[in-house]
Chain A
Amino acid sequence: MNIEKFIQEFTEQFDDLDTSTFTAETLFKENDEWSSMTALSIIAMVDDSYKVRLTGDDVRNSKTIQDIYDIVLAKSKL
């Protein structure tokens, strides 16, 4: 797993927002497009690409892309 690829896959879940400035430290909920639908898209992407099941709480308790990445990393080692 690497963070650059993860950020790319993460930002693909946003349809309209300009995500070119997104980094690992971006607060990904602080924009107009963030919704429960985006949350679902991210859970689905992580399930597809990493075979890891994020919970609703995992997303709720995360602020940055790095936070999500760390959870995926930890869960993929289980």
Chain B
Amino acid sequence: MQAFIKAVSYYLPQQRLTNLTLSALFPEWGVEKIANKIGIDTRHIAAEDEFASDMAVAAAQKLFVEHNIAPTEIDFILYCTQSPDYFLPTTACIIQDKLRIPVKAGALDFNLGCSGYIYGLALAKGLVAAGIAKNILLLTSETYSKFIHPGDKRNRTIFGDAAAATLVSTDGFAGIGEFELGTDGKGAENLIVKQGAIRYPSKNADSVNDGYGNEQSPGHLHMDGPEIFAFTSKAVPSLIADTLFKNNLDKTDIDQFILHQANQFLLEHLRKKIEIPAEKFYIYMANVGNTVSSSVPIALSEAMNERKVRPAEKWLLAGFGVGYSWGGTVITFNKP
């Protein structure tokens, strides 16, 4: 059985963090110039009492309303987050109850960041292909704002909170093609929240300067920006090439490239390196920032709103980051 993307919706929390606010908080930071380079004007930030699971539920409810889907149709929930409500139970179980999805549905969480959406599509396709489920609700939701040290101006400039909901089914608007996936745990230390889980349970909030004037601590999100940049420069061009190869396609066969919206500076560097024409390279970040696992579905949804997609168009989707972990696939829109 072939798997399709049937519907995509997303949710952004109400509160906004603008460049104006950031520049008032960090007057020496030159936020306008930096934000201009990374292509971000505003990020949405979850309220203090709003959590990733609440946002995932809101995104799913939008999906149900916008695409006229009944919760009773869902027979599997895949929930991608690095911000679970509890160590246990699985947050996807709580989401099943909140959304009134039938108790006969399967549900599980998986923990990935910027590659998460691609992995979610791969898992969902597997469930459909094996005949295990027919209507999979793939949810991605992240609140990195809760991990970031208040004095970490760089990460506060980059990351925004968001959730997305995708229905993967036995029919839909675009068929899901072949996958290229990869992992390199040697990069774990470069993007990490080290404390607060089992290995280092107690949090030490004493901040250390990261060498670039950003306050970070082992209890907060640590990102070695230059190291992550070096990793993506190396990994993403081969990810794109290998994804094309797996799908038996050339670069010129792809009508739209949608990469994880890390930041515009990195994306432009990758675009030139891979030699993708600007008009085929979609960027949607200015109003949302880097939303981790929701960046690809948000950009996908916006790209489809922005222009009329011709029948049989092929779009390449790719995610890469924390882990390190990366993945790519091609979706093919239906013929008339």
Contacts and interface: CB of A to CB of B under 8 A. Distances in A.
Interface stretch (B114-122, B198-206, B265-273): B265-273
Interface string B227-252: 11110011000000000000000000
A40 B210 CA distance: 15
Interface in A1-46: 15-16, 32, 34-37, 39-41, 43-44
B280 interface: no
Nearest to A60: B211
B225 A39 contact: yes
Contact of B225 (A32, A40, A48, A54): A40
Given A35-B34, A60-B211, A47 B233 contact: yes
A36 B230 contact: no
Contacts of A53: 230, 233-234
Contacts of B213: 35
Interface residues of B, number: 27
Contact of B227 (A16, A48, A57): A57
Contacts of A47: 233, 269, 273
A57 B33 CA distance: 25
A37 B230 contact: no
B212 A39 contact: yes
Nearest to B214: A36
A55 interface: yes
Contacts of B224: 56
Interface string B35-60: 00110000000000000000000000
A56 B224 CA distance: 7
B226 interface: yes
A37 B37 contact: yes
A43 B34 contact: no
Given A43-B229, A47-B269, 18 more contacts: A36-B210, A36-B225, A37-B34, A37-B37, A37-B38, A39-B226, A40-B226, A43-B226, A44-B229, A44-B233, A47-B233, A48-B273, A55-B227, A55-B230, A56-B225, A56-B226, A56-B227, A56-B229
The 10 closest A-B pairs by CB, nearest first: A56-B227, A56-B226, A36-B212, A36-B225, A39-B226, A44-B269, A40-B229, A56-B224, A55-B230, A37-B34
14 contacts: A16-B33, A32-B28, A35-B212, A36-B214, A37-B37, A37-B265, A48-B269, A48-B273, A53-B230, A55-B226, A56-B224, A56-B226, A56-B227, A56-B229
